[in-house]
Structure 1
């Protein structure tokens, strides 16, 4: 498995999903809050909900994409070591 290819594909996919989610929160905050709340069983997300994307949008995008790239590369590297 090509480590760089998996890392790149994972990072690009994460960036697309991140942008989609940020858009959903910006344009459909009510529905986004309901969906996000359904992911946290028993936690009232409304207590920490801040609404639309704020100044931390770029930091979140960069860190999510960067960490996903690193995770994808490590996963492929480890996979290659284990199948040999």
Structure 2
């Protein structure tokens, strides 16, 4: 089965944008919950000394994360197609 690189890339881009938006909303409305989640992903590293959530960079983060998600999806489909031959 061959994957359509552009369809997978668009899907990944939309999912990346959605995940970024959810994370942004968590930071904005529930910063302690977000901090607890991030800290658990970092194997319990204490983030209190460096924790300064900034909401001013939303557009840059949203655009760059969506773009990286798109590229990752395209590469995933391309590599998958190479291995599935």
Instruction: Give the count of matched residue pairs.
Output: 83
> What's the TM-score, normalizing by structure 1?
0.89
What residue is the counterpart of 2:57 in the other structure? 56
- Higher helix residue share: 1
Q: Which whole-Å CA distance do the structure 2 matches of 1:77 and 1:17 have between them?
A: 23
Runs of 4+ in 1 over 3 A off after TM superposition: none
What residue is the counterpart of 1:75 in the other structure? 76
RMSD (Å) for aligned C-alpha atoms: 1.2
Q: Which whole-Å CA distance do the structure 1 matches of 2:13 and 2:28 have between them?
A: 22
Q: CA deviation at 1:52?
A: 4.6
> What's the TM-score, normalizing by structure 2?
0.88
What residue is the counterpart of 1:35 in the other structure? 37
Tell me the SS of whatever aligns to 2:45. coil
Is 1:4 the counterpart of 2:13 in the alignment? Answer: no
Contact 1:2/1:76 (CA < 8 Å) preserved in 2? yes
Unaligned runs of 5+ in 1: none
Q: Which whole-Å CA distance do the structure 1 matches of 2:33 and 2:54 have between them?
A: 12
Contact 1:11/1:66 (CA < 8 Å) preserved in 2? yes
